[in-house]
Amino acid sequence: MHMEFTTDELAFRDEVRSFLAENLPEHVREGARNTPSVFVEPDIGDEWQRILHAKGWLGYHWPRDVGGTGWDPVKRYIFEKECALADAPSLSVLGLKLVAPVIAAYGTPEQKARFLPRILDGTEKWCQGYSEPGAGSDLASLKTRAVLDEPTQTYTVNGSKIWTTHAHYADWMFCLARTDLAVKKQAGISFLLIPMHQPGITIRPIITLANDHEVNQVFLDDAQTHAQYRIGAAGQGWEIAKFLLENERGGSCAAPRLLADIGKLRALAREAPSGTNGAYGHLPSVEARIVALELEALALEITELRGLAELKAGRRPGAQTSLVKLVASSLRQKIDEAFVDIFGPHGLQLPIERPLYGNAAPEPIGSRAAQLATPTYLNGRAWTIFGGTNEVQKTIIAKTVLGL
């Protein structure tokens, strides 16, 4: 397996670096650096999306024939790595990386023309209606019900969704709903696109331990959507859901951003006092801890590169996406814990204001990095839950790789 970048790929890397240096505003970088949550605030996220859209680089996970870049997996990896090193904000995955590839793969020409341009230009935002109270890890047990009225070709949807990220900003929800009760539970699910701005939808905020408002509970009470907004056939939702979850778990390159954060961790540790006549980072136990994190991240990067080689060869990565998700989520939490430890008491502050950048940001105790430590740690407890819990990933690996 060839693991070195080609001359063309290295030239593309240099092009990305130059673009980021010239076009990524410093206030957007600052906002990304000082965001403790997985999802950046819309002000900097939307601005960065507009910049990439103007360049033609926004739909970098999309085929060229639907408005994307058509980049192969290696170019996507290079782009994400350089963005991580440059402190670019993470793009919202909900429209760009989750529902858009579904529409591109399973949608009709009319559906592609209706939705994909509006995802690219940012005029319509999305949320994901998967998890429910009592149907999170066991997603096939979902209870949300959609009934089709044949004469009007309209679905009436009843139920609730929970942990719905950015529902309070969304114009549309891509939703799994049960449309057939007479078949086994996986076979009776359909993939529906539901407009959020209608009387049948109520959004209840969920404020996390970190004081972030990212997630919500959404109640659907006789909410409606037309059959033309069903992606795929009736009952095909479980197949589409698995396609989407594979993209969510393995469609991004986690290691570069983890390695970038470990670099920041090392730099801060070299400045933080240890209380024993030296820097915290010079303590042998701390140095060993950071090196162990770095080695694990480098091993993850090699695994991701192997996955890229599989994708470039036209093969699906399969269970490897679960392995990457499992390791990346756990490593993310270890890094967050190390940041809290570096700052001692200053690392325990938990401001309730948001955002933690710009003129309205609260004054930090010690430093802005110290102020971010605990909110980031608390927000990051969700890493081993969303996109499939660690336990789910281990079960997938046990079944598909180990044959247990």
Please check whether residues 271 and 376 belong to one and the same domain: yes
Please check whether residues 135 and 52 belong to one and the same domain: no
Please check whether residues 163 and 221 belong to one and the same domain: yes
Tell me how many domains the chain contains.
3
116 within domain boundaries: no
Please check whether residues 359 and 290 belong to one and the same domain: yes
99 within domain boundaries: no
Active site residues: 248
b/e map of 277-308 (b: 16 or more CB within 10 Å)? eeebbeeeebeebbeebbebbeebbebbbebb
105 within domain boundaries: no
169 within domain boundaries: yes
Please check whether residues 258 and 393 belong to one and the same domain: yes
Alpha carbon separation from 203 to 38, 217, 401 (Å, rounded): 20, 6, 40
Please check whether residues 51 and 76 belong to one and the same domain: yes
224 within domain boundaries: yes
Please check whether residues 271 and 349 belong to one and the same domain: yes
- HSE toward the beta carbon, residue 144, CA cutoff 13 A: 33
CATH number at residue 319: 1.20.140.10
Please check whether residues 318 and 364 belong to one and the same domain: yes
In a structure prediction context, what are the per-residue pLDDT tens digits for the chain, which is 404 residues long? 456 789 999 999 999 999 999 999 999 999 999 999 988 899 999 999 999 999 999 999 899 999 999 998 889 999 999 999 999 999 888 999 999 999 999 999 999 999 999 999 999 999 999 999 988 778 889 999 999 999 999 999 999 999 999 999 999 999 999 999 999 989 999 999 999 999 999 999 999 999 999 999 999 999 999 999 999 999 999 999 988 876 655 456 889 999 999 999 999 999 988 877 788 899 999 999 999 999 999 999 998 888 877 777 777 666 778 888 899 999 999 999 999 999 999 999 999 999 999 998 999 999 999 999 999 999 999 999 887 889 988 998 898 888 88
Please check whether residues 260 and 395 belong to one and the same domain: yes
**Structural domain for 200, as ranges:** 126-237
Please check whether residues 266 and 337 belong to one and the same domain: yes
Beta carbons within 8 Å of 249's beta carbon, 6+ residues apart: 321, 322, 324, 325, 387, 388, 393
